[in-house]
Amino acid sequence: MRIVPAIDIIDGKCVRLTQGDYGKKKVYREDPVEVALEFQDADLDCLHLVDLDGARKGHVVNWEIVRDIQEKTALSVDFGGGVQTEAEVEELLDLGVHQINVGSLAVKEPETFSKWLKKYGTENFILSADVKGENVAINGWLEDTKFRLFDLAARFEAEGLEYLTCTDITNDGMLEGPNIGLYKKLINRFPRLKIVASGGVSSLDDLKELKYAKVYGVIIGKAIYEGKLSLDELKSFQKS
């Protein structure tokens, strides 16, 4: 199971939200690049990088941080937050970003996402589904929709989708454990997809449960910044 530490950016700083609420923002570090280097020094090789400014505004905002992390680390970065155009996709791939998370656009313009999967390769994209219950939320979690998670996943799996990250917004930032039942349902229904869990992880026991559930990876954010899980613990778990 992949361990994927997260960096969320607002105003160029490393922050975390609680349940996706921009009004419940906490700044943890001033320099996201420094944090990324610490993840690399701990022998973690992946990074989930989210431009929350971009998610809210509908276009990538924090380009300089993306460039700096790509230049100064060897981390395998998956990036999300406001990607809406082919020009942004191409610039991110040219910078060496490993994968691009697409969420809101996949709901609002599914034909565009289908086109990207075909044109640039399914290996370069992650369908990023942020859910309340089993309904998808978009635009930086600010807008609820009636789109069902399983319908969205089925639509794009039929077009070759390989990767799906699912964030349970209700659990995100709460440090009360992930929604194991939701991930088991996804894995049972879509055994071919590589499912990445996100939201609520706060302990090694949570990681063990997700590993037993056979998720492909897990994104960990607030638990690191609040000291619930150390980088040494994550390094050891990944090697176990």
Q: Residues with catalytic annotation?
A: 8, 130
Polymer length of the chain: 240
129, 91 in Cβ contact below 8 A? no
Q: Rounded to whole angstroms, how far apart are CA atoms 142 and 146?
A: 14
Nearest to 130 by CA among 202, 78, 80: 80
User: In sequence order, what E strands does 58-162 have?
Assistant: 76-80, 99-102, 125-132, 135-138, 143-148
Q: Rounded to whole angstroms, how far apart are CA atoms 163 and 99?
A: 10
**Interior angle at CA 137, CA 132 and CA 140, nearest 5:** 120
